[in-house]
Structure formats: C-alpha cells, structure tokens
Amino acid sequence: MNELIFKGCGTALVTPFKEDGSIDYEAYAKSVARQVEAGIDFLVPLGTTAETPTLTAGEKAELLRLTRLNAPGVPLLAGVGTNSVPATIANMELLSEADGFLVVVPFYNKPTQEGQYQYFKAVAAATDKPIVLYNVPGRTGVNMEAATALRLAREIPNVVAIKEASGKISQISEILAGAPEGFSVLSGDDGLTYPILALGGAGVISVASNVVPGLMVEFISAALDGDAARALELHHKLSPLFKNLFCESSPIPAKAALSEMGLMGATLRLPLSSPSEKTVAIIKDTLKGLEL
C-alpha cells in the first residue's frame, strides 16, 4: 500500500438532524467546511458518531458526497462496518468514492479471534483500498487482541492501521511494538491520545474535534512534531471536554455542545434520545471553561 494517508487529527463527524428527524444537509456541509478551515488532516464520515446504524443507504451516499464536495483534497475514511461480510462489502460498494474504509470488529455476534481474522480477511479481499480496523469492545462486546491485529497487519496488505479504543494501554503498546512497517495505530479515545502518541501512535480519530477542531489539530501536531510540553498542556486543557463528551452515550453530549454553540440542532434518532438536563449543564460548564 502507499504511505498512510490517515494520520494526524481525523474527525468522526456527527450527522445533524432537523427536529422532524430528517438530515440537516446544510448544517452538515457547514460543519465539514469548518473542519477544513481548521486544518483537519482527514475526515471520518459514517462512523459510530454519525449514528450510521440509523441512516438509509441513500442518506449515507449523500453524506459522503457532501463530505467530498466540501472537503476537496482531504482524505476520507468512511465507516462501513457491520456484523456481516455481505453487508459490509455492500457498504464499501455504496461508498466507493471514499479513500479508505473504517471497519469495526463485528458487534453482537461475539466472534472469536479466529472469526475476527477470517472476517477481516474476507472484507479486505473485496477492495484494493486501505482498511482501518476498529477495535471498540465497549460497543461490540468483544476485544480484538494484539495478536489478531498484528496477524492481520502482517498478512493482509491493505490492512494499514487500527483505530484502538479498547482503553488497554498495554495492548496498544504491544501492537505498536510489533507492528510491521506501514501499519499504524490511531487513538480511538480522545482521553488516551497523548499516551498513545507518546508510544508511537500516528494520530487520532476524534469526537472532540467536532467541537474544537482547531485546538485538536494543534494538540496532535504538537505531539507528532515532538513538542511534548505544548501537547501535554493542550491535553490537560482539553481533558474535561474529552471526559464530558462521554457523560452519556456518544454522540449525545457532542450534539448538545454543537447545539449550544449554534452550529446545529441537538436532535438524535432513536434509539438515542435527547440529553438529560444534567448532561446539558455539564456541557455548558465545559464549553464555558474553554471560553466557547
């Protein structure tokens, strides 16, 4: 594969909805343009943060089209993962204009490590584009162990990276230590990004950068450029935001924040519901602390 294009700060984009539940495409286009203006390195439409399980095929295709239109030249990593090989491949075909695909460990099925390996092998064989593994056991119910991630990295040429959101620093360190040339680790947890980058990570797929794209770009750039003091300063400054964007299921708090900032409505699609009054108060205090 070519040099990794998914590095630095990437935003897991939210999908804004109008009060009637339809997608607010105008707000989405503006949010993408805001990311580009902030200097974002790559964008991740149609991931967990986008409420993708609630979107139709037509909506997914239109969101990817708008992302490309409003972020020319910015690498796009489209979320395509499901818990079935045919469905995941169908998503890749639908979103073929993306530069690469983010594929989550299959959820609900609870596959073994061998099952995970065979699943990703089958998915990767269906495309010549880069595949980024996504390990998030808090949502999928199973963990991809370091040995499985490294097996895929060594044996499947277009498996180029992993978004690691296991919260297991020892596991992440093991992947980094054993990764073959050309395989990278991206933080999938804003709060653990600083230590992951210190261990050799290549960047982050961030929820917080929906809210503060400029600060997140500066944070990641400082860390990757070796300015540890500035990176640590920004880590501490942003830590309350990292924590509080998960005080309820993501992206509920992120949408509350963006709504408070006047960038989009806070509407979500079921089964996600509106933020509680407590969450809104926490988010308001967090934004005030960041002078937003």
Catalytic residues: 134, 163
Comparing CA positions, the residue from 27, 90, 104 lying closest to residue 60 is 90
What are the φ and ψ backbone dihedral angles of 212, each rounded to 5 degrees? -130, 70
Q: Which two tokens stand for residue 191?
A: 């709060």
| Three-state SS at 92 | helix
Single-letter amino acid, residue 146: A
Contact 58, 90 (CB under 8 A): no
What is the residue whose two structure tokens read 């469905």?
A: 87
Give the Cα separation of 102 and 155 in Å (integer). Answer: 18
Give the Cα separation of 23 and 45 in Å (integer). Answer: 14
CA atoms in the 13 A half-sphere facing the CB of 13:
32
Contact 61, 82 (CB under 8 A): no
Give the Cα separation of 167 and 7 in Å (integer). Answer: 20
| Three-state SS at 14 | coil
The angle subtended at Cα 74 by Cα 152 and Cα 95, nearest 5°, is 60
Give every strand in the sheet of 42-44, ordered side by side: 42-44, 8-12, 203-206, 184-187, 159-164, 131-135, 100-104, 77-79
